[in-house]
Amino acid sequence: MRSYSKEDIERLDQRYRTNLINSLTGFKSVGLIGTQNKARLTNLAVFSQVFHMGAHPPLLGILFRPHSAERHSLENLLETGYCTFNHIQESFVEKAHQTSARYAASEFDACGLTPWYSPSFPAPYLAEANVRLGLRLVEKHLMQVNQTELVVTAIEEIWLPEQCQLPDGYLDLEAAGSVCCSGLDSYHTTQRIARFSYAKPDQPLRTIEPLPADSVKQA
């Protein structure tokens, strides 16, 4: 095994260190955040610092880096109070990564992706995404140590492919074609090992059956 001490980490070349540290949390959620400003100029940006914060109420956390291109998304979210989170499928993973470039105009146009508005939500969704969430700003925390901003959002609207949901509510993300990422720049599909039952100290785990393969139409 290779080990890095605190001092070793501090001495690393900046680019090398960024690649290494970004790999360490493991595989990450990744999606496209859709926003618009009050003048209705849209923005779409790829984000991997997104995480589940609770189901009752339904909450999703987003971490915004200081002084980066991603700040357009944060500015629009603060200005309007709303954004969307859209899963990425393998079919448009390259376009999704391209949204991280610094565009002056909308990334929807620049990257060949399609905005879509639901009848009831004020921020743009991504038409290509199989799973789309409408999010409302709830609260915001500034991390003292590195000036990143944590934004807590409430999930107010959900769009998903009906045939990918199990009878117990679980959404089969493999059936929906959602990808994950690692590091700064790597995208991955997944293969299920198993779903396990709720763990209790004195009982062996059971596995929960996935969707029958022929009930799923891959998108």
Residue 113 amino acid letter: L
> Which range of residues in 1-9, 32-40, 76-84 is near its own copies by CB under 8 A?
1-9
216 binds its own copies (CB under 8 A): no
Closest approach of its own copies to the CB of residue 152, in Å: 6
- Binding of its own copies by 45 (CB under 8 A): no
User: How many whole angstroms separate alpha carbon 74 and alpha carbon 135?
Assistant: 13
32 touching its own copies, by CB under 8 A? no
Binding-site member from 60, 83, 113, 151 for its own copies (CB under 8 A): 60
Q: Closest distance between its own copies and the C-beta of residue 219, in Å?
A: 10
Taking the C-alpha atoms of residue 65 and residue 184, their distance in angstroms, rounded to an integer, is 13
Q: In sequence order, what are the residues at sequence separation of 6 or more whose Cβ sits closer than 8 angstroms to the Cβ of residue 113? A: 32, 44, 92, 95, 96, 99, 107, 126, 127, 128
β-strand partners of 46? 32
Instruction: Name, in order, each residue with C-beta under 8 angstroms of 22's C-beta and a sequence gap of 6 or more.
Output: 183, 184
Distance between CA atoms of 127 and 133, rounded to whole angstroms?
A: 12
Residues 77-136 that bind its own copies (CB under 8 A): 85, 87, 90, 93-94, 97-103, 110, 118, 120, 131, 133
- Residues 185 to 204 in contact with its own copies, rule: CB under 8 A: 185-201
Q: State in angstroms the smallest separation of the CB of 182 from its own copies.
A: 5
Residues in the interface with its own copies (CB under 8 A) total 112
Q: Restricting to residues 140-159, which ones interact with its own copies according to CB under 8 A?
A: 141, 143-146, 148, 150, 152, 154-159
Token pair recorded at residue 96: 């999704």
Helix (H, G, I), strand (E, B) or coil at 40: coil
On whether the CB atoms of residues 184 and 173 are closer than 8 A, the answer is no
8 A C-beta contact, residue 187 and residue 28: no
In the complex, the smallest distance separating the C-beta of residue 117 from its own copies, rounded to whole angstroms, is: 13
Q: Rounded to the nearest whole angstrom, what is the least distance from the CB of residue 84 to its own copies in the complex? A: 12
Q: Which of 37/219 has CB closer to its own copies? A: 219
- The residue among 201 and 212 lying less far from its own copies, judged by its C-beta, is 201
